[in-house]
């Protein structure tokens, strides 16, 4: 079955709204000036554990497609996989502005248009779309506090549930049913966080993610499914981390080199 993004988006949006409102409420008694609000010297250190919510854009990488159908039994040519948006939410804990940090994150990637030519000279091509729901375990290394900015590197492993929509196939336009399957997923990340209040950290990051493969069902007298290989993408994400606890001395800035 296909993922249901509407409910998932509503839950993540509600969590982000609560985190922002709670963070603002927690910080109001401590605000003395704009410098105190946004300057790193004006904040105590954020607590080690947090909730996070992110949104971003995903540029598809080079993928492939095969179809053991009545036209060919090998690779589909001229494969095109479209871009999409993403939304995520999760929990994590870390050791401060320098050291290790771990997260458990659930994310949804919206529909990507997918099409390709099953044979040279074919009048029509295969056409479908695919979306993904991914559960990832991520690890990061925070490199230190540089005047309020904390750069990081990271990597993640997990599982993706990739779902295809109905596939229209040549030459007679037979329609294969949509299908969902699980696949191994992995990612590498880099980015920077900036502490905007005592409990809130703004996070801007880059990620390369490979969500694995997706497959269609069968139908219309066609017994061979279409398989989409390597749903990979380059992504830019913007998120907010709401930290619990804190109130201790600010993490000392690292000297600029």
Summarised one tens digit per residue, pLDDT across range 64-80 is 888 876 555 567 888 88
Entry pTM: 0.77
Q: Verify cis geometry, omega within 30 degrees of 0, for the bond prior to 134.
A: no
Summarised one tens digit per residue, pLDDT across range 217-239 is 888 777 788 889 889 999 999 99
| 151: confidence class by pLDDT, cuts 50, 70, 90 | very high
| 183: confidence class by pLDDT, cuts 50, 70, 90 | very high
pLDDT at 78: 83
148-159 b/e (C-beta count within 10 Å ≥ 16 → b): bbbebebebebe
Summarised one tens digit per residue, pLDDT across range 111-144 is 999 988 876 556 667 889 999 999 999 999 999 9
pLDDT at 97: 86
Closest CA to 124 of 167, 82, 165: 167
Torsions phi, psi for 2 (to 5 deg) = -80, 150
Q: What is the mean pLDDT of residues 171-197?
A: 90
Q: Would you say residue 241 has pLDDT above 80?
A: yes
In whole angstroms, give the CA distance from residue 137 to residue 117. 36
Q: What is the mean pLDDT of residues 210-221?
A: 88
Q: Which domains does the chain have, with CATH numbers?
A: 5-244 (2.40.160.20)
| DSSP 8-class letter at 12 | H
Helix runs in the chain, H state only: 5-27, 34-38
Q: Would you say residue 83 has pLDDT above 80?
A: yes
Which of 20-34, 101-115, 194-208 shows the lowest per-residue confidence on average (mean pLDDT)?
Answer: 20-34
* Residue for token pair 């998932």: 8
In whole angstroms, give the CA distance from residue 58 to residue 92. 23
| DSSP 8-class letter at 253 | P
């Amino acid at each position: 079955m296909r993922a249901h993004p509407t409910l998932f988006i509503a839950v993540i949006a509600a969590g982000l709204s609560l985190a922002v409102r709670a963070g603002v409420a927690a910080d109001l008694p401590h605000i003395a000036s704009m410098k105190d609000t946004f300057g790193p010297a004006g904040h105590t250190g954020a607590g080690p554990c947090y909730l996070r919510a992110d949104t971003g854009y995903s540029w598809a990488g080079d993928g492939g497609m095969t179809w053991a159908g009545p036209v060919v039994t090998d690779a589909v040519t001229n494969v095109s996989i479209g871009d999409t948006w993403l939304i995520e939410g999760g929990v994590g804990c870390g050791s401060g502005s320098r050291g290790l940090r771990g997260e458990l994150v659930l994310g949804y990637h919206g529909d990507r248009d997918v099409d390709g030519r099953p044979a040279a000279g074919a009048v029509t091509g295969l056409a479908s779309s695919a979306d993904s729901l991914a559960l990832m375990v991520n690890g990061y290394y925070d490199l230190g506090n540089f005047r309020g900015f904390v750069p990081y590197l990271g990597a993640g492993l997990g599982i993706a549930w990739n779902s295809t929509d109905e596939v229209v196939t040549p030459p007679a336009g037979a329609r294969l049913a949509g299908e969902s399957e699980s696949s191994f997923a992995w990612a590498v990340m880099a980015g920077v966080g900036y502490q905007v209040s005592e409990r809130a950290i703004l996070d801007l990051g880059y990620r390369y993610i490979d969500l694995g493969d997706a497959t269609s069902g069968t139908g219309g007298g066609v017994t061979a499914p279409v398989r989409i290989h390597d749903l990979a993408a380059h992504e830019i994400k913007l998120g907010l981390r709401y930290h619990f606890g804190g109130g201790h001395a600010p993490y000392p800035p690292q000297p600029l080199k």
